[in-house]
Amino acid sequence: MAVARVAAPVSLEEAVAEGAPSAVAASPPPMAPSRLERWGARLLRTSNRVFEQMLETLEAREPWERYRPRSTALPPTFPTRDDRPAVDAPSALAPMAYSTRYDIHYDGDFLVNGRPGMAVRFDDVMARPDWPTLLRDQLSHGDVRPGDPLRVFIPGLNTPNPITVASIPVVAQATTVGFVTMANGSTVGLDPIVMTLPGGRRVTLPTRGREWLQGGFQRIGISVGPRSELRDDMPRDAEGRVEVPPGSGQWLAPTELRDLRSALNELSDPNKVLIDNVQRLVMAHIDRDDAPPLELWGYSEGSLVLGKAFEDLEARYLAERMRDCPPQERTQRLASLRARFASRLDRVTVLGIGSAYGQLGTPVRRVDFYAADAADQVSRFTGSPRMTPSYRFVNDLVRPPRVRDAFIPYQQPFSGFDAHNFYAAGGSALGLYFEQNGARSVRALHERERTGDLVHPTLEQVIARIRRNGGEQRIWDANNRLPPLGDDNARHAR
């Protein structure tokens, strides 16, 4: 049987040489690009080169050269500050003191010890040559002694202010060491926000400051923050409008809702004035050789403020001090400033209370102090890699701890958000840590935790201290309570 032979494959060049029809030969010759296409190609290549050069230039610049200060201006839609003179202000503070409204306008100012509703402006304090002494000796709450570090406490978000203000001196006594309080205007506002939207619509919002904006406002579908977006499942009328707030009779069209969301995001741009003042305080401390060691205590949202403040602190410090430097002195001054920043920053310690925020942008020593056993419903979602196994599900989302970080999970008896309540439980627990470790600074606790020598108070000891300090009077949930004396079942969950 004959077998058909299959011709060996030939190359394209061989086929063309033998005169075989070629797909290449059969295709029409390519058309020359037009003058417009050639010009467009040259323009594209040129623009790409320019863009690449810009990127290379930016990447080659130091972070301090790229630093741009954040705006601390408030939108005109927010009520202006009420500059009422303070009544019965201490004589040393009388020229600076004013009566607060507990709103965003006193962000970053200092509360006056023993005078609820009274504050002094940050700028007035820092303009004095004796500002470290004034803060520690005249404005601090609690037991402050000679030789103590300067401790600055920033309250959190979810404690309505005048309650917070009344609780601060008590919790300062509970910590056994005391601190000065830098006001966080995100707690509560006593006046409504009245806004005029771009379309001319006038909107009135009953406020509790950014607590209401960031918390209660989410229930009508607007989350205030960098990822703010409108929900699609909000109840609407036949014309697609939404009632804001519910039950107010104030109906907004979708476009008006977007304008309102943008305005609220601007208002609640997280603590821009407070962040700015924290940075200015740290930079002034770095430049001051005779200042005592500085401790920054941030409770809940206050710890997030500290995290934000340290992100670009070094870039700002260098940028502001290199601004007018002659070119011939830049190298020497930059090296000197960097060395000073690093050495003086070692005298700063950060205490994050109830919130394990992410990495700090500078090599500052940090202690995270939080309720153990995943009882703290706030910290559990921003957990730290060295927390208890209950936090394991978030560990993949958090970068590894730095060698400068210390983590102190403390025992406490409450459940839910009261496990996060520094005024009810955390302050008493922190006071026990200071007492039982013979310490009067967070830095001392940091060093003992890092070496494994830290003494941890027992749950029974914390309960006894909470009872002695009256912490049960400051719980947020009435279902939480201390166990009866002698009860072995210490934790009373809801």
Q: What is the mean pLDDT of each run of 10 residues along the chain (494 residues)?
A: 47 46 52 73 72 57 76 63 76 85 79 86 94 92 90 77 78 92 68 70 64 42 40 71 76 80 59 88 95 93 84 90 89 93 92 70 79 58 36 33 73 86 93 97 94 94 95 86 67 42
The whole domain housing 255 covers 193-267
Instruction: Say what the pLDDT of residue 415 is.
Output: 83
Based on the fold, state whether residues 248 and 278 are members of the same structural domain: no
Based on the fold, state whether residues 452 and 375 are members of the same structural domain: yes
Based on the fold, state whether residues 210 and 145 are members of the same structural domain: no
Strand-pair partners of 97: 120
Based on the fold, state whether residues 151 and 256 are members of the same structural domain: no
CATH no. for residue 134? Answer: 3.40.50
User: Among the three residues 267, 299, 329, which one is the final residue of a domain in this structure?
Assistant: 267
Instruction: Say what the pLDDT of residue 11 is.
Output: 47
* Domain assignment present for 453: yes
Based on the fold, state whether residues 313 and 367 are members of the same structural domain: yes
Based on the fold, state whether residues 247 and 394 are members of the same structural domain: no
Instruction: Say what the pLDDT of residue 80 is.
Output: 64
Instruction: Say what the pLDDT of residue 266 is.
Output: 57
Q: In angstroms, what CA-CA distances link 160 with 157, 163, 317? A: 8, 6, 34
- Number of domains, the chain: 2
Based on the fold, state whether residues 401 and 316 are members of the same structural domain: yes
Is the pTM value of this prediction over 0.85? no
Residue whose token pair is 């004013």: 98
Instruction: Say what the pLDDT of residue 393 is.
Output: 27
Based on the fold, state whether residues 239 and 281 are members of the same structural domain: no
Rounded-to-integer distance, Cα 304 and Cα 290, Å:
29
* Domain assignment present for 41: no
* Domain assignment present for 482: no
Q: Do 459 and 207 touch, CB atoms closer than 8 A? A: no
Based on the fold, state whether residues 303 and 251 are members of the same structural domain: no
Instruction: Say what the pLDDT of residue 217 is.
Output: 46
* Domain assignment present for 306: yes
* Domain assignment present for 45: no
Based on the fold, state whether residues 199 and 138 are members of the same structural domain: no
Pairing of strands 179-181, 140-141: antiparallel
Two tokens, residue 401: 């701890």
Based on the fold, state whether residues 231 and 310 are members of the same structural domain: no
Based on the fold, state whether residues 263 and 377 are members of the same structural domain: no
User: Among the three residues 215, 243, 267, which one is the final residue of a domain in this structure?
Assistant: 267
Instruction: Say what the pLDDT of residue 398 is.
Output: 38
Scored b (16 or more CB within 10 A) or e, 77-98 reads ebbeeeeeebeebbeebeebbb
Instruction: Say what the pLDDT of residue 440 is.
Output: 95
Instruction: Say what the pLDDT of residue 122 is.
Output: 94
* Domain assignment present for 157: yes
* Domain assignment present for 73: no
User: Among the three residues 245, 267, 289, which one is the final residue of a domain in this structure?
Assistant: 267
* Domain assignment present for 43: no
Q: In angstroms, what CA-CA distances link 26 with 16, 22, 31, 217? A: 11, 6, 15, 70
Instruction: Say what the pLDDT of residue 100 is.
Output: 80
SS3 letters across the chain: CCCCCCCCCCCHHHHHHCCCCCHHHHCCCCCCCCHHHHHHHHHHHHHHHHHHHHHHHHHHCCHHHHCCCCCCCCCCCCCCCCCEECCCCCCCCCCCEEECCCCHHHCCCEECCCCCCEEECHHHHHCCCCHHHHHHHHCEECCCCCCCCEEEEECCCCCCCCHHHHHHHHHHHHHCCCEEEECCCCCCCCCCEEEECCCCCEEEECCEHHHHHHCHHHHHCECCCCCCCECCCCCCCCCCCEECCCCCCCEECHHHHHHHHHHHHHHCCCCHHHHHHHHHHHHHHHHCCCCCCEEEEEECHHHHHHHHHHHCHHHHHHHHHHCCCCHHHHHHHHHHHHHHHHHHHCCEEEEEECCCCCCCCCCCEEEEEEECCCCCCCHHHHCCCCCCHHHHHHHHHCCCCCCCEEEEEECCCCCHHHHHCHHHHHHHHHHHHHHHCCCCCHHHHHHHHHHCCCCCCCHHHHHHHHHHHCHHHHCCCCCCCCCCCCCCCCCCCC
Q: Do 159 and 418 touch, CB atoms closer than 8 A? A: no
